[in-house]
């Protein structure tokens, strides 16, 4: 679905990722891991055409990203970030309905089919009860799920999520990521999400893309654990990853 | 989906606003310094008035003024709504972009700086120059902001630059006021007070098409405006052509706010307040409803201001329309600001 060919990313003189090549397939949930500021968001933004790669090519559904116009791309890739949308008098339903924009006419009028897609998207994300609520009254967790419903309404084969679990509590994090996993496996979508939640990534994701500056390592979850990359990357002075227990260990008295 | 409540509310409010506009339209034709009975007004409109004097007042003075009031109200609020959505800022309006200041600068140059250079002005040349320079001034500012926006992707930076540009221009206008002659200062002050009756029949040939084109463009971008509610980055990922939408919105805003400022003077607060009134009454953020709703509220507010001016004028006192719009708009804006502060 999404293919990176020798991608390099960076700002100014700073290089984040260099020469990354890999494929993200449909029907898989891919966790994007890496330390702070190593280019996880930059990579997702590049795939969503919100930023440009320094060199290399991104191929989406067999066509280079540069050949897509914004409306075409919006039918292939949906993008969810952590930004809250707080607009006066905007209802959750209307917000989700904006996800139908790539398919509607000049005025954005919804057809009966569009409406049923919007309703289904809200059901899948578990926000159908909030349809008439104003977005400014939603909690952070609810707002995040409404944004995911919006991405689902976009009906794209690929969904990118930038730290979707950032504002959620532990049960909600697992619930959300289980939902994303179901979307990948049951609806055949290619779901890529960046996260700092190692345990969630290891227990739920099909494969892991790790930003190991300046490389991007993409392996299946099992291979990634046994590769030792995670231990090396996440070992700080006070805590580190323990491959045997698949969890973070705090070092005492180091 | 049960959205029945709004399905009833919206047609109700639209018809209510329609009735209000019709009522104020008639009221504005009736009231003025000369008392003309209703049947004479009707006769004058059909061209069969009993006196030529009545026909002159109704058809050449009051009717153009009422039409200008409706169009300028629609124009200002439609441009304000677009700015608020584009900049995701409830306090954005043509003023923050510096469009009003640009127009003021053009007029200040013409009325105050030109006489200093020894040029003669007055009468026909004066009127033509004032409107023309206001046009050029607002268009110049807009082009500057547009060229900046091509290089700067962050919308807040553009907003701040617009404000800085506006402040700098206001300062220059202030200096011109200080060194200008008393006569030229007065001419400038008269323009800044704003007047709906300043638009003559000849002006209408430019004013009406410009406003209508601006309003049509505003309606054409309802879907991009809805997408922009998500923020610019998100809007792009749902398929928005950001550059094209921005150009259309800027074009519409200049045509609307620039023309009104050029012909009627800087009329404040309608563009800022009426979109909020539309959101509050129609309880929606959907621009397919908000754009027409704001336009209608704008028409109502300007007709009302016009009516108040007429009633006061009937008692022998001429009020600048700008102070009435401020008195009407400021309470609404204070309410919006306080409510936003109380939230979250």
Which has the higher per-residue pLDDT, B158 or B209? Answer: B209
Which has the higher per-residue pLDDT, B96 or B338? Answer: B338
B238 to A81: CB separation less than 8 angstroms, yes or no: no
Across the interface, which of B3, B239, B285 has its CB nearest the CB of A101?
A: B239
CA distance, residue B333 to nearest chain A CA (Å): 14
B242 to A70: CB separation less than 8 angstroms, yes or no: yes
Residue A78 contacts B, CB cutoff 8 Å: yes
Which chain B residues are within 8 Å of A77, Cβ to Cβ?
Answer: 237
Distance separating alpha carbons of residues B98 and B107, to the nearest angstrom: 14
Q: Are A180 and A191 in contact (CB under 8 A)?
A: yes
B239 to A104: CB separation less than 8 angstroms, yes or no: no
Which chain A residues are within 8 Å of B241, Cβ to Cβ?
Answer: 69-71
The pLDDT assigned to A168 comes to 84
Tokens matching residue B31 = 């009231």
Q: B244 φ, ψ to 5°?
A: -65, -45
A71 to B233: CB separation less than 8 angstroms, yes or no: no
Residue burial B274-288, b: 16+ Cβ < 10 Å; e: rest: bbbbbbeebbbbbbb
Complete domains list, chain A, with CATH: 1-71+158-254 (3.40.50.300), 77-155 (no CATH)
Angle between helices B182-193 and B99-108 (to 10 degrees): 150
Which chain A residues are within 8 Å of B245, Cβ to Cβ?
Answer: none
- pTM score of the predicted model: 0.89
A71 to B236: CB separation less than 8 angstroms, yes or no: no
Nearest to A164 by CA among A79, A92, A94: A79
Nearest to B81 by CA among B212, B271, B292: B271
Residue A110 contacts B, CB cutoff 8 Å: no
pLDDT at B50 over 70: yes
CA distance, residue A48 to nearest chain B CA (Å): 7
CATH class of domain segment(s) B4-342? mainly alpha
Which chain B residues are within 8 Å of A95, Cβ to Cβ?
Answer: 229-230
Across the interface, which of B223, B230, B288 has its CB nearest the CB of A85?
A: B230
pLDDT at B126 over 70: no
Which chain A residues are within 8 Å of B273, Cβ to Cβ?
Answer: none
Residue A181 contacts B, CB cutoff 8 Å: no
| Successive 10-residue mean pLDDT values, chain A, 254 residues | 93 89 95 91 94 92 94 96 88 96 93 96 93 91 92 96 88 90 92 92 93 91 88 79 78 63
pLDDT classification of B12: cutoffs 50, 70, 90 = very high
Across the interface, which of B237, B288, B343 has its CB nearest the CB of A50?
A: B237
Nearest to A154 by CA among A69, A86, A72, A82: A72
Tokens matching residue A246 = 């698949």
Q: Are A127 and A146 in contact (CB under 8 A)?
A: yes
Q: Are A100 and A153 in contact (CB under 8 A)?
A: yes
**Over residues B162-172, mean pLDDT:** 83
pLDDT classification of B1: cutoffs 50, 70, 90 = very low
Percentage of chain B modeled with pLDDT above 70: 91
pLDDT classification of B224: cutoffs 50, 70, 90 = very high
Residues of B with CB under 8 A from a CB of A: 1-3, 88, 90, 220, 222-223, 226-227, 229-231, 233-234, 236-242, 279-280, 282-286, 288, 343-344
**Residue tagged 């809200």 (tokens):** A122
Distance separating alpha carbons of residues A114 and B284, to the nearest angstrom: 19
The pLDDT assigned to B344 comes to 46
Nearest to B82 by CA among B96, B92, B70: B92
Q: B122 φ, ψ to 5°?
A: 155, 160
Query: What's the pLDDT tens digit per position in B191-214?
Result: 777 778 777 777 788 889 989 999
CA distance, residue B209 to nearest chain A CA (Å): 23
**Residue tagged 């620039």 (tokens):** B258
The pLDDT assigned to B153 comes to 62
CB-hemisphere CA count at 13 Å for B93?
21
Domains of chain B by residue range: 4-342
Sequential DSSP letters for B153-215: --HHHHHHHHHHHHHHHHHHHHHHHHHS-HHHHHHHHHHHH--STT--HHHHHHHHHHHHHHH
Tell how far CA B258 is from the center of its chain: 8
């Amino acid at each position: 679905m999404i293919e990176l060919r020798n991608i390099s990313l960076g700002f100014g003189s700073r290089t984040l990722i260099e020469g990354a090549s890999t494929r993200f397939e449909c029907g898989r949930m891919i966790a994007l891991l890496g330390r702070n500021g190593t280019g996880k968001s930059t990579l997702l933004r590049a795939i969503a055409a919100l930023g440009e790669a320094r060199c290399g090519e991104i191929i989406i559904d067999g066509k280079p990203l540069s050949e897509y116009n914004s409306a075409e791309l919006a039918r292939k890739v949906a993008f969810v970030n952590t930004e809250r949308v707080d607009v006066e008098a905007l209802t959750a339903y209307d917000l989700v309905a904006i996800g139908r924009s790539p398919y509607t006419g000049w005025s954005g009028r919804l057809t009966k089919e569009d409406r049923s897609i919007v309703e289904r998207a809200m059901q899948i994300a578990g926000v159908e009860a909030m349809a008439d609520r104003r977005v400014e009254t939603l909690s952070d967790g609810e707002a995040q799920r409404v944004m995911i419903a919006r991405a689902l309404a976009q009906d794209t084969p690929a969904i990118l999520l930038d730290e979707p679990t950032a504002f959620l509590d532990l049960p909600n994090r697992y619930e959300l990521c289980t939902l994303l996993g179901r979307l990948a496996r049951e609806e055949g979508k290619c779901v890529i999400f960046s996260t700092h939640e190692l345990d969630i990534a290891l227990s739920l994701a099909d494969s892991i893309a790790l930003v190991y500056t300046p490389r991007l390592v993409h392996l299946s979850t099992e291979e990634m654990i046994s590769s030792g990359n995670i231990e090396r990357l996440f070992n700080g002075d006070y805590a580190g990853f323990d491959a045997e227990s698949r969890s973070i260990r705090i070092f005492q008295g180091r | 989906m049960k959205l029945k409540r709004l399905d009833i509310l919206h047609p109700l409010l639209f018809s209510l606003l329609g009735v209000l506009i019709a009522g104020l339209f008639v009221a504005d034709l009736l009231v003025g310094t000369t008392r003309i009975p209703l049947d004479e007004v009707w006769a004058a409109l059909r061209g069969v008035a009993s006196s030529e004097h009545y026909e002159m007042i109704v058809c050449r003075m009051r009717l153009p003024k009422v039409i200008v009031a409706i169009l300028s109200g629609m124009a200002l609020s439609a441009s304000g709504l677009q700015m608020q959505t584009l900049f995701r800022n409830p306090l954005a309006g043509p003023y923050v972009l510096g469009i009003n200041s640009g127009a003021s600068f053009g007029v200040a140059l013409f009325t105050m700086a030109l006489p200093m250079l020894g040029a003669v002005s007055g009468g026909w040349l004066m009127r033509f120059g004032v409107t023309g320079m206001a046009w050029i001034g607002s268009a110049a500012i807009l082009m500057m902001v547009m060229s900046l926006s091509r290089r700067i992707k962050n919308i807040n930076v553009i907003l701040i630059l617009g404000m800085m540009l506006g402040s700098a221009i206001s300062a220059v206008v202030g200096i011109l006021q200080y060194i200008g002659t008393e006569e030229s200062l007065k001419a400038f002050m008269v323009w800044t007070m704003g007047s709906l009756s300043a638009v003559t029949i000849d002006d209408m040939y430019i004013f009406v098409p410009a406003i209508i084109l601006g309003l049509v463009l505003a309606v054409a971008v309802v879907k991009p405006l809805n997408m922009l509610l998500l923020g610019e980055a998100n809007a792009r990922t749902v398929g928005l052509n950001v550059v094209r939408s921005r150009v259309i919105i800027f074009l519409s805003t200049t045509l609307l706010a620039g023309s009104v400022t050029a012909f009627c003077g800087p009329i404040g607060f309608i563009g800022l307040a009426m979109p909020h009134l539309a959101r509050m009454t129609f309880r929606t953020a959907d621009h397919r409803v908000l754009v027409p709703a704001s336009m209608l509220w704008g028409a109502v507010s300007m007709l009302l201001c016009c009516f108040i001016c007429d009633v006061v004028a009937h008692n022998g006192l001429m009020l600048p329309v700008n102070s009435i719009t401020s008195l009407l708009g400021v309470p609404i804006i204070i309410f919006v600001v306080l409510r936003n502060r109380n939230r979250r």
